[in-house]
Chains A and B, each alone.
Chain A
Amino acid sequence: MANKSIIVENISKKYLLGKNTSKTLRDSIANLFNSAQEVEEFWALKNISFELRRGDVLGIIGKNGAGKSTLLKILSKITKPTSGRIEFLGKVSSLLEVGTGFHPELSGRENIFLNGSILGMSSSEIKKNLDEIISFSGVEKFIDTPVKKYSSGMYVRLAFSVAAHLRSDILLIDEVLAVGDNEFRKKCMTKMDDIHKSGKTIIFVSHNMNAIRNICDRVLLLDNGKLEALGATDEIINRYLNETASPLEQITSRFIKKIEVFGNTVSEDIISGQELNILFHFVDLDFQDAAIIRVEIYNRSMDLLFICNNRVNGDIIRIQDREGLVRLNVKNIPLMSGDYFIKYFIKTDGQGVDTNSKYVPFSVFNNNFYNTGLEPSSKKGILLNYEYLNF
């Protein structure tokens, strides 16, 4: 038992679909005589079990509808599990939304007290932290103005500042970090890190793989309400990303039979700073006209890195027969080692737009972009040729 923080045993949650729960009296009376109601069962979660020790930071990932929010709602006691048992050791706070209960007519300061007490802080706790909350939010000047006059950025920053000062042993957090501008986001991540370092147990749901990677020690992957995997952060994130992207052979869309992605020559690895080739096998075309192909390259956090579009660079693509090959060639690719994804859009006159429903994955290997064998350790952004000049 020592050091345990959360024990989740066989949690399941069933929803009844097709049953209108907020009915009118008439329906209820009608149902007294006609009890056979058409209901369909839907298991939003099925037999989820896991344990966390004090100080663990668990990320929960999964596709939309995989059950992430339901799990968080059950853990936060907002809704009851259909079966199963959960034990928490320590004070629990949940943060499914920033600014719950904020009232537009009240001032920033008043809303701090209101929101704080909704989140479960005592008024003495709020008073103690008031100055810090206000200065963290950066809206000191408007703190006595009704929040309906705030910009949405100010609103969210104030709301997050209250939440950031929660001092519970266990924190359950939904995707709430994706707020504010870059600077504020950085501030939030630092705050999360501090909270982590002070030994709090955190469960964190997010779509942002970077955020997950930055703060989580372990990751739980949900798929269709089932626990698909639980393990080390990088391992699970890679597994998840590989599942969402499909193998190359399976990539097909209306105009594309096959895509090949390679380095300097066919079937060669793609090396950082060398060539990237993407070969499109066109099929079933009934146009003789010019086409526009836009290729977008994403990294693992699904940040768009760059776009190759022949509408912009002026290249003309013509395919004379019903089938044909088009190759996109990028010299000196500015990508660090790691996994990347391709999304393409093909536009033809009068034929609509064709796009891939699943991302096309490829890997880049590091081979001395800077002749030092090094690359930025943060693995963010792209690589450029630059030099520092000394005067």
Chain B
Amino acid sequence: MNKTVIDSNKKSFEIGFSELLEYKGLLWMLAWRDIKVRYTQTYLGVIWAILTPIITLVILHFVFSKIAKVDTGEVPHILFTIAGISAWTYFSRLLSESGNAFISSQNMIQKIYFPKLVIPLSKAIVGLVDLAFTLLCLVALMFYYRVLPGHEIVVLPMFLFFAILAGIAIGLWVSALTIRYRDLRFLVPFLLRVGMFITPIAYPVSMVPEKFRLLYYVNPMAGVIEGFRWSILGTEMYWTGVYISFGVIILLFITALIYFKSVESVMADII
């Protein structure tokens, strides 16, 4: 028979992975609900999942390739850009949805117990569906341009993992902070807009002046997107920079977990 103890004196820090495992059914259910609800009552339905990245792609391609004349070497600019867009869209969507994640689940949080980590994690899963659609577009374009991925493709899962980790880490920070500071709701869209310019989505990192380069990789998505592109299209990559990005992601993830845990127990009281 299982035994549950609630003790106000217990202050030990645990993330509760085993508990999270118990609630994996709920995690999938919430993710499924979000996916299902997102496209019901829209005329085009799931087509939006393909349409949004394509529109972004067309605009970015036009601005960076035709106006700014960015040189992407042998790789067609449009391919170069969509590889960047796929990871960036995943990250930015996760971030903007995380902000309101707890507040929109307010009712649930106040009426029933569950590990709150389930909510941001379910958002991370939902984002993967859109990511899959964008990657599908990428594959289609690769067919069109007759570009084959090299052996680097085997490392793609690692970059995918770090993209997810970055999304969860920053999403967790944002969602936990938003509970106390609703200011974040205004700050996040702004940060994302800035982020879009300081992330190598439609231009190569080689265009960034040498002296700023290390600093540039402090942006966790810089390394992830470079890696994405390197593993799919075989563009050049600056490993030291990628390591910096990964380090930043891991640091953000650990601190996010710690901060989140400190907020979790009082969440129902302050939300």
Contacts and interface: CB of A to CB of B under 8 A. Distances in A.
A85 B109 CA distance: 22
A88 B4 CA distance: 5
A79 B269 contact: yes
A371 B205 CA distance: 100
A24 interface: yes
Contacts of B5: 85-88
Most buried by B among A28, A101, A119: A101
A118 to B, nearest CB: 6
Chain A interface category by residue count: 35 or more
Given A22-B179, A23-B180, A85-B6, A90 B112 contact: no
Nearest to B38: A105
Interface of B: 1-9, 25-26, 29-30, 33, 36-37, 40-41, 107-114, 179-183, 265-266, 268-271
B26 A117 contact: yes
A73 B268 contact: yes
Given A25-B183, A80-B266, A97 B111 contact: yes
- B contact face: mostly helix, strand, loop, or mixed: mixed
Contacts of A110: 33, 36
Given A22-B270, A113-B29, A114-B29, A87 B4 contact: yes
Interface string A77-117: 11111111111111110101100110101100010011001
B9 A85 contact: yes
A118 B33 contact: no
Contacts of A83: 8-9
A88 B112 contact: no
A100 B107 contact: yes
- A contact face: mostly helix, strand, loop, or mixed: loop
A366 to B, nearest CB: 44
Most buried by B among A24, A80, A83: A80
B33 A25 contact: no
A21 interface: yes
Nearest to B26: A117
Contacts of A73: 268
Given A86-B6, A118-B26, A77 B113 contact: yes
B29 A21 contact: no
A320 interface: no
Given A120-B26, A123-B29, 4 more contacts: A28-B180, A83-B8, A110-B36, A118-B26
Contacts of B266: 79-80
A85 B231 CA distance: 53
Interface of A: 15, 21-25, 28, 73-74, 76-92, 94, 96-97, 100-101, 103, 105-106, 110, 113-114, 117-120, 122-123, 169
Contact of A89 (B1, B26, B110): B1
Contact of A106 (B3, B37, B179): B37
A24 B270 contact: no
Nearest to B22: A120
Contacts of B181: 23-25, 28
A120 to B, nearest CB: 8
Contacts of A103: 33, 37
Contacts of B33: 103, 106, 110, 114
Given A23-B181, A122-B25, A78 B8 contact: no
Most buried by A among B1, B25, B268: B25
Contacts of A77: 4, 6, 113
B201 to A, nearest CB: 29
A77 B180 CA distance: 21
B265 to A, nearest CB: 5
10 contacts: A15-B269, A78-B112, A86-B6, A94-B112, A105-B36, A106-B37, A117-B29, A118-B112, A123-B29, A169-B1
Nearest to A10: B8
B225 to A, nearest CB: 30
A162 to B, nearest CB: 13
A45 to B, nearest CB: 12
A179 to B, nearest CB: 15
Give 10 closest A-B pairs by Cβ, nearest first. A21-B270, A77-B113, A86-B6, A88-B4, A117-B29, A25-B183, A97-B111, A85-B7, A117-B26, A96-B111
